Amino acid sequence: MKAYREFHRRSIEKREEFWAEQAQLVDWHRPFGKVLDYSRPPFARWFVGGQTNLCHNALDRHLATRGGQKALIYISTETGEEKTYTFRELHAEVNRCAGMIRSLGAGVGDRVLIYMPMIPEAVFAMLACARIGAIHSVVFGGFASHSLATRIDDARPKLMITADGGMRAGRAIPYQSMFNEAIRLAKSPPEKVVIFNRGLDPNLKLAAGRDIDYAALRAGHLEDRVPVAWLESNEPSYILYTSGTTGRPKGAQRDTGGYAVALAASLKHIYCGEPGETMFTTSDIGWVVGHSYIVYGPLIRGMTTILYEGLPIRPDAGIWWKIVYDNKVSVMFSSPTAARVLKKQDPAFLRKYDVSSLKHLFLAGEPLDEPTHRWFAEQLGRPVIDHYWQTESGWPILSSVPGVERTPVKFGSPSFPVFGYDLRLLREADAAEAAPNEKAVVAILPPLPPGCMTTVWGDDERFVSTYFKSFQGKLAYSTFDWGIRDEEGYHFILGRTDDVINVAGHRLGTREIEEAVQAHPNIAEVAVVGVADHLKGQMPLAFAVVKDAARIATLEQRAVEEKSVLETVDRMLGAIARPSRVHFVTLLPKTRSGKLLRRSIQALAEGRDPGDLTTIEDPAALEQIRSAVKPL
């Protein structure tokens, strides 16, 4: 591990020298003066004074050398569409879209909300915002009205770009009712909504004076050439909302120069992607993985990127491997849930296509269990690398770094701290460093490296109080994950320290789900916990106290009420946040001071020991949980 260790050591001990070198991987319109300004801890400002642009680095700078190379390959197994854009063609579309956005009055620093399915226009819109210096806030298409409204109110976008709908498993999911309701709920709604009509919603109606048809607008901007807005490296590029312990999602704000450099460096050293090769990331543009490794990362590196709309098992479980084979994919990135889904299918599909072009398959987003890791690597016959990171970091925190050194994979472990991260395992009680194999909190000593979130959008104070106040007497960033390090330096992630749950790699706050359940007229009180699920990692499970018990007197009535509660969650947050069950109880386990005993509820729901219960107000509440989850 000599080469890896030396690389990492230099990234921490000779931080500025190291990152100045990595910064050469991207274009600068004006060179930076100072590599790092850390005069106001924990805020880090990277490449101070330098001017650059994400869209320029993703597109313009490749035109001379690879204008005719494929930049974006779009494959939808939902609609059957396939489209390819060369760097030149993508550049032209992005210029058109930039012209459209500009014509609607958005420019440097204005927010543009993108609520889109996995279609090329979503990528055009993101890159177009980056081109003109507008700050995009992409909201996952699976989120519903309430989630969208809270994000609108926090980001206050000038403009929303959306579509008539998404598709999942062959079924169209119209967006109109969701964005109309969100706009109705929002206190500061966008003035204009651009809608890309895919022909999925026959009932689509444009709101006069507000809605604009994407294709009609585009027709007026076909020849637009929009100059790149050169931004100081620390100007924000985007906001991406993520769930925490409160009901209010946080807008992770990303800079421009640091992000470009971190992505370029990660593509080179971690993913081993070379310019001209093809990357296939199976995530969604609504998540951080989609931002970094469907859109910006591969394009900045001069790679072709694949945008895939569809499931891993339709038309059959060989579809992803067919895509790898057809496009000679060299780098693939997916999730443990997808691996577990594929593990349940006939393994012959994994061997049906020649996938020898794949250098590595990377997995992230949730814990990867050892049996799945082992099985997948064996069946695929290619190296499968678990790596760990978060919306906040924007790029990997723990990973093996095969571009620097090929270190052996330990199944179930995301290996070692990535360059730039001064990662420590700190004890919760006294912030001291943990011994090998001792469970502790995964922390990072600031300054955080380039590419990480720079603040919470509009709320510096919340950034500091949320992330840097976990350890008494020590300024350290908390990931809110438990972890251990073994004697050989391999790390293992053991789950969250807070009330955030992870469903199929998607992070959800239990508070947010509780608020949605409580919006149902008959719910007085509710506790939502994450419970282990063999496929999705975790699933939310709700225990609710009703206002009017007469409405759930019979079994049939209970079933009807449960369904109606679940529909409320679907409508407000989206089906992704829907609890697997709502159990009705008459009282919830709380401490005498009224705090919900979530960890005990979760333990009971998973059939474990509920732990220390000396503070409980009424032990009968636990009995109710126990009998509610008891298998029949």
Binding residues vs ligand AMP (CB under 6 A): 242, 288, 364-368, 386-391, 414, 479, 481, 493, 496, 502, 507
Map tokens 């594929």 to a residue: 342
**How many Å is the Cα radius of gyration of the chain?**
24
Contact 631, 549 (CB under 8 A): no
Q: How does 159-175 read in b/e, with b if 16+ C-beta sit within 10 Å? A: bbbbbbbbbbeeebbbb
Q: How far is the CB of 32 from ligand AMP (least distance, A)?
A: 28
Minimum CB distance to ligand AMP, residue 630 (Å): 29
Least distance to ligand AMP, CB of residue 139, Å: 14
The residue (of 19 and 467) whose beta carbon lies closer to ligand AMP is: 467
190 versus 365: smaller Cβ distance to ligand AMP: 365
Q: Are strands 278-281 and 329-334 parallel, antiparallel or unpaired?
A: parallel
Q: Is the Cβ of residue 253 or residue 390 nearer to ligand AMP in the bound state?
A: 390
Between vectors from CA 418 to CA 18 and to CA 535, what angle results, nearest 5°?
A: 155
- Closer Cβ to ligand AMP, 86 or 502, answer by number: 502
Nearer to ligand AMP, 235 or 366 (CB): 366
Cβ proximity to ligand AMP: between 85 and 388 the closer is 388
The residue among 605, 596, 599, 606 whose CA lies nearest residue 624 is 605
Q: How far apart are CA 127 and CA 134, in angstroms?
A: 10
Residue 186's closest CA among 246, 281, 83, 113?
113
d(CA 318, CA 315): 8
In 360-438, the DSSP E strands lie at 360-363, 384-386, 398-399, 416-417, 422-426
Query: Smaller CB distance to ligand AMP: residue 204 or 397?
Result: 397
Report, in Å, the least distance between residue 428 CB and ligand AMP.
16
Query: Cβ 366 to ligand AMP, closest distance in Å?
Result: 5
Distance CA 57, CA 127 (A): 10
Q: How far is the CB of 368 from ligand AMP (least distance, A)?
A: 6
Cβ at position 502, least distance to ligand AMP in Å: 5
CA separation for the pair 190, 136 (Å, rounded)? 13
Name the minimum Å distance from CB 69 to ligand AMP: 30
What is the C-alpha separation between 295 and 218, in angstroms, rounded?
21
| Contact partners, residue 564, CB within 8 Å, separation at least 6 | 520
Neighbouring CB atoms inside 10 A of 620's CB total 12
Closest distance to ligand AMP from the beta carbon of 423 (Å): 13
Measure CA 359 to chain center.
24
Query: Which residue in 221, 109, 220, 222 sits closest to 158, CA to CA?
Result: 109
Q: In whole angstroms, what is the distance from residue 534 CA to residue 340 CA?
A: 8
Q: Which is nearer to ligand AMP, 165 or 394 (CB)?
A: 394
- Smallest gap from residue 231 Cβ to ligand AMP (A): 25
Nearer to ligand AMP, 200 or 503 (CB): 503
CA distance 573 to 185: 13
Enter the DSSP assignment of 591: B
Of 180, 222, 174, 171, the residue nearest 198 (C-alpha): 174
Q: How far is CA 227 from CA 55, 122, 257, 399, in A?
A: 11, 20, 18, 38
CB of 289 to ligand AMP, least distance (A): 7
Smallest gap from Cβ 267 to ligand AMP, in A, equals: 18
φ, ψ dihedrals at 217, nearest 5°: -65, -45
Report the amino acid identity of residue 86. T
Query: For residues 389 and 416, which CB has a smaller minimum distance to ligand AMP in the complex?
Result: 389
Q: For 220-258, give one letter per residue: b (16+ CB within 10 A) or e.
A: ebeebebebbbbbbbbbbbbbbbbbeebbbbbbbbbbbb
**Closer to ligand AMP at the Cβ: 275 or 495?**
495
Instruction: Report the DSSP pairing between strands 304-309 and 278-281.
Output: parallel
CB of 480 to ligand AMP, least distance (A): 6
CB of 540 to ligand AMP, least distance (A): 15
Nearer to ligand AMP by C-beta: 90 or 240? 240
C-beta of 164 vs 422, nearer to ligand AMP? 422
C-beta of 388 vs 543, nearer to ligand AMP: 388
